[in-house]
Structure 1
C-alpha cells in the first residue's frame, strides 16, 4: 500500500447521513476512490469535535456503534445505525506515539462513534468495512498544538491508517438554520472570502498564517464563533506534513453559509484530486 493521504472532511449537520447534497455525493464515492488508488485502509483514525476531552484520549473498544448526540432532527436520523469494528491495538499504539512525542494521551476501553464520525463513514463505507479508532479533540488547544498531534501520527499513513479530521469549513449554525430552507441560496461574500483565503494559504503552504487564522483570515470569527469544527483541519494537515500543500478535493456550500469543503494532505494528495 502507498502512503495514504490524510483528510479533512466537513460533516456539517448530522442530516448529511440521510440528505442528498453535493457533499454527500462526494462522500458516497470517496471510500471507493481511496480503495482504487491505495487499497482498503487498515483502519480509520478519526478526530471529531463531538468527542472532546481535556487531553487526548483514544477509544480502544473492540466494537463501536453510532451515537445520536443531537436533538430536534427527524425520526429517520435517529434510526440510522453504524456498527463498526474497533482496533484496540492501534488505539494503544496511537496513545504511545503521542505520549512519546510529549503529548500525554490515554487509550481507554470505551466505544462509540459520535455523529462527526459515523455520518461521514456511513457514506464512505456503508457496510462498515473499515475498522475505526476515535481520537478525541482537545477544543481549547491552539491550531499549532493540533498540528503537533497530527505530526506525531504521520507515520501511520504509511502503515495503512487513514487519518481523518472531521468538522466543517464554516460553522455558524445560528446563521445556517436561519436560512435552512434556502438550499439554493448563493454563497455569502464573507463565507467565500474565508474559503478563498484558506485555499490560497493552504496551496502556498503558509502554515504560519493558517495557525494564526483567527487574526489573519477574513471574517474568521463569523465563520467559526467557536472553532472546534475547524481545529481537526490542523490535525490532518500536520499528519500530511509541512512540505505538502493543502489540496481542496471537494467544494460546496449548503444554504450559502455552511461550507462543506474537503481537503487532502501529504505526498499522495493529488491522487484524490477531482
Structure 2
C-alpha cells in the first residue's frame, strides 16, 4: 500500500539544485517501489479532464524560460501505459466525470521535475493527468475520489503543485519564511489533520491570506485531487515543510 501524496514542485531549478525539499523527495522515493505513478500536474490545464495515454517514452517538456542551459539538457525517459490510462478513464466515467485521452503530450516540469528527484531512474509507468483550476474544491476532491483504492494496488498518486504560489510576492532576500505564508499553511494543515472538509472547501473565504497564497488556483487544486484519492480513515500528515524566497511553499502531505 502506497499513500497518495501532494508535493510542492516549486522552481524548475529543483531539478539541478540540492535543497531540503529535494533531499526529502529522494529519501521518500527511495523507500517506495510503485507499480505505476499517476500524477496530477498544475502545468497541464484543460476544461475536460485529460489523461496521457501512450506506451512510449514521453518527451520531456521544458515549459519555462530563462534558466541555466543544463536544465534544458535533462531528459526524464519515463514510459506511459495505455492499459492503465484506459483503466483510469473508466473509473472517472463511472463517477460521471468527462474524460479525454491524449496520446502525444509529454511530461511537463510539474511532473518530471519532482519525479526526477524522487525516482532518478524511472522504472515504472507514469500517467499524467490534467487539472481544471476553476472547478470548486469539492469537485476537485470528488475527482480524486474516483481513484480511491489504487493505493492498495501500489499505485502512487501524486498531486504536484504548491500551497503558496505567488510569484509576485517572491522575496529574493528572505532569510526566513514570510509570516503570512506560514499562517496560510498552518491553517491548511490544521484543517487537513482534523479532516475539516467543509472549511477546506471554503479556504478562499476562511483561510488567512488566501488571496495572497493562491492568486490563481492551478497550483493549489492538485492538493484536493490527491486528498480525495486517499483513504478517509487514514490520518493525513505533513511529510515535509520548507520554504524558499520567503513564501514559495514546499509543503508535502500524505493522505
Alignment match of 1:150 (pick from 102, 124, 144): 144
Match of 1:216 in 2: 206
Q: Deviations over 1:213-239 (max 9, x none)?
A: 111110011011101101000001001
Indicate yes or no: 2:46 matched with 1:48.
no
Identify the residue that residue 24 of structure 1 maps to in structure 2: 22
**Map of 1:107-122 to 2, 5 A cutoff?**
107-122=101-116
Residue number in structure 1 paired with 2:91: 97
The equivalent residue for 2:125 is 131
Matches within 5 A, 1:109-258: 109-176=103-170, 179-180=171-172, 182=173, 185-258=175-248
Structure 2 counterpart of 1:59, from 39, 44, 52: 52
User: Cα RMSD (Å) of the superposition?
Assistant: 1.2
Structure 1 Cα separation of the partners of residues 184 and 77 of structure 2: 36
Instruction: Deviation per CA, 1:157-199: give whole Å up to 9, x if none.
Output: 11221110000121011222xx23x3x6111111111011011
Q: CA deviation at 1:140?
A: 1.4
Structure 2 counterpart of 1:261, from 246, 251, 254 = 251
- Cα distance in 1 between the residues matched to 2:45 and 2:4: 21
Structure 1: give runs of 5+ residues left out of the alignment.
35-39, 266-274
Q: Residue 14 of structure 1 aligns with which residue?
A: 12
TM-score by length of 1: 0.90
1:62-88 Cα distance to aligned partner (Å, 9 max, x none): 121310001111111111110111111
Runs of 4+ in 1 over 6 A off after TM superposition: none
**How far did 1:108 drift?**
2.6
Q: Is the 8 A contact 2:39 2:128 kept in 1?
A: yes
Deviation at 1:46, TM superposition (A): 0.2
Contact 1:61/1:111, CA 8 A, preserved across alignment: no
Mapped contact 1:51–1:136 kept (Cα < 8 A) = yes
CA positional deviation for 1:8:
0.2
TM-score (norm 2): 0.96
Contact in 2 for aligned 1:151/1:241 (Cα 8 Å): no
Partner secondary structure for residue 229 of structure 2:
helix
**Which residue number corresponds to residue 271 of structure 1?**
none
Q: What SS is found at the alignment partner of 2:5? A: strand
**Contiguous gaps of at least 5 residues in structure 2:** none
Check conservation: 1:42, 1:130, Cα contact below 8 A. yes
Distance 2:133 2:200 in 1: 17
My pick for the range that moved more, 116-125 or 151-160, is: 151-160
